[in-house]
Amino acid sequence: MQVYLDCWPCFLRQALSAARRAGASAELQRAILEETMTALRELGRDATPPEMGERIHRLVRERARAPDPYLGVKREATEQALALLPALRERVETAEDPLRAAVHIAIAGNIIDHGVAETFDLEATLERVLQAKPPIDDLQVLREALERVDDVLYLADNAGETVFDRVLIETLSPPVRYAVKAGPVLNDATREDAVAAGLDQVADIIDTGCDAMGAPLGLCSPDFRERFDHARLIIAKGQANYETLSGVDAPICFLLQAKCSVIAGDIGVPTGSVIIQASAALDVRGDHRFRGR
């Protein structure tokens, strides 16, 4: 997905929020905002929002000398989500359609996003998403793909959200490779965050080879790109993965909440929508031909 002009104020807000979390002085906060504006002016037309976000958060970490400004909120989110884990599992076990329940639970966890908002109501979001009717609902495509593949590449999003992903992964039959970020960026999940959520108990944890949000393939490691290229089913969680991969010809199922009006507009749905969107390449034969959606 391209960078829209409406993304620019969001970039500046993220830069200021991250700088404050990193403990930057008012003078340094101003300098970081000025450098962010310079980077925006230099931004290429083909750049995606997460690529700009990576530049901002790297700038904050380096200038404020704070390796992980979001470490505290990531741990807090994981603890909060783990407290809900027994209830989340019960929801799946008692559901008429366990896969749908688990998918909606995973999408509910996508509200844990400090790139969009400073606060969120996790339990209220869970109830809303469980009852939601997605305007784009390709669950049947995902269901059929799960029946034919030998394994799944699952692209993680945020810490805490990892626990909700765990519930879905526990529902899947094929083994899962769970791809996190190679280093801290915003509140995105790293290996440490995934292990804290117990993902090592249900999946093989790998990383994208970079610390950019989403999965901008040009920045990812050769090892990750090879895994990505050979995957027959990729579950991509969250807005950043949609932003970086929506134009890529690969067998992807995007699971997200369209929390941002820009992303909602790009998808063509109301803001706040629950999205289960299969790419054209994820057809019923598992090859890379278009489904003609």
The one-letter amino acid code at 152 reads V
The one-letter amino acid code at 183 reads G
pLDDT recorded at residue 284: 45
Is a pLDDT exceeding 80 seen at residue 38?
A: yes
pLDDT 10s digits, 230-252: 999 999 999 999 999 998 999 99
Helix axes 161-171, 71-93, angle to 10 degrees: 30
What value does the mean pLDDT take over residues 17-21? 90
Q: How far apart are CA 279 and CA 235, in angstroms?
A: 10
Q: How far apart are CA 164 and CA 82, in angstroms?
A: 9
Q: Which CATH number fits domain 71-278: 3.50.50.60, 3.40.50.1820, 3.40.50.10880, 3.30.950.10?
A: 3.40.50.10880
pLDDT recorded at residue 120: 59
pLDDT recorded at residue 283: 61
Task: Grade residue 97 by pLDDT with cuts at 50, 70 and 90.
Answer: very high
117 against 26, higher pLDDT:
26
What value does the mean pLDDT take over residues 271-291? 71
Mean pLDDT of the chain: 89
